[in-house]
Amino acid sequence: MLLTHLHLDHCGGLIDGDGTARFPNAEVVVHAAEVDHWLGGEIGTPSDDDPPWAESVTRRGAAAAVAPYRDRLRTFDCEQLVAPDITAVPLTGHTPGHSGYRVGSGADAILVVGDIVHVPAVQGPRPDASVIFDVDPDAAVDARRTLFAEADRDGIRIAGAHTEFPGVTLVRRVDDGYRLVPDLWVGSIGA
């Protein structure tokens, strides 16, 4: 299981409702900074007034999601191969260890980017627009700008959890921003 970060909508599916591992044979791979930030120190108790994206809520949920996998948790802290043909690419900002995973190489590659973009219609033309969930908004903007420029230059597709159907998109430079064009990926790995 290659995790982009430990926000609940990206790791909550690791466990069933009773807290047991939904994927009992899986190894979990995630950036070390995610483990440090969300699972380090005291988890704390969320109050009823905390919004769903509050740190305390996220920390408690992430701890529950990862708990059954603690003895098979593998971390990385830089761009590196984490599985055959799959390279982890740190995209720090949205969260301290937010990362993408590049599958394949060249123009046939696809980069699974997690939460580099939440609202494509806004953050395409305005990549400087941050969202409330960004832990470090300035760094998130930098990561988005860098990634969009590279995707436009290299023609690689990106896949995000919050991009338009079918979840895969090309990035095209338009004026001062970008247009995210829904597309398909028909590449392969291990060929």
Q: Could you list the residues that contact Zn ion (CB under 5 A)?
A: 7, 115
Strand residue runs (E) in the chain: 28-31, 73-76, 80-83, 86-90, 99-103, 110-114, 157-160, 168-174, 177-182
User: Could you tell me the smallest distance in angstroms from the CB atom of residue 113 to Zn ion?
Assistant: 11
User: Could you tell me the smallest distance in angstroms from the CB atom of residue 114 to Zn ion?
Assistant: 7
- Which residue number, 7 or 157, has a Cβ lying nearer to Zn ion? 7
- Which residue number, 7 or 59, has a Cβ lying nearer to Zn ion? 7
User: Could you tell me the smallest distance in angstroms from the CB atom of residue 170 to Zn ion?
Assistant: 22
**What are 62's two structure tokens?**
């992430």
Determine the residue with CB nearest Zn ion.
7
- Which residue number, 32 or 189, has a Cβ lying nearer to Zn ion? 32
**For residues 133 and 53, is the Cβ–Cβ distance under 8 A?**
yes
23-58 burial, b at 16+ Cβ within 10 Å, e below that, comes to eeeeebbbbbbbbebbbeeeeeebeeeeeeeeeebb
- Which residue number, 14 or 104, has a Cβ lying nearer to Zn ion? 14
User: Could you tell me the smallest distance in angstroms from the CB atom of residue 154 to Zn ion?
Assistant: 25
- Gap between the Cα atoms of 113 and 64, Å rounded: 23
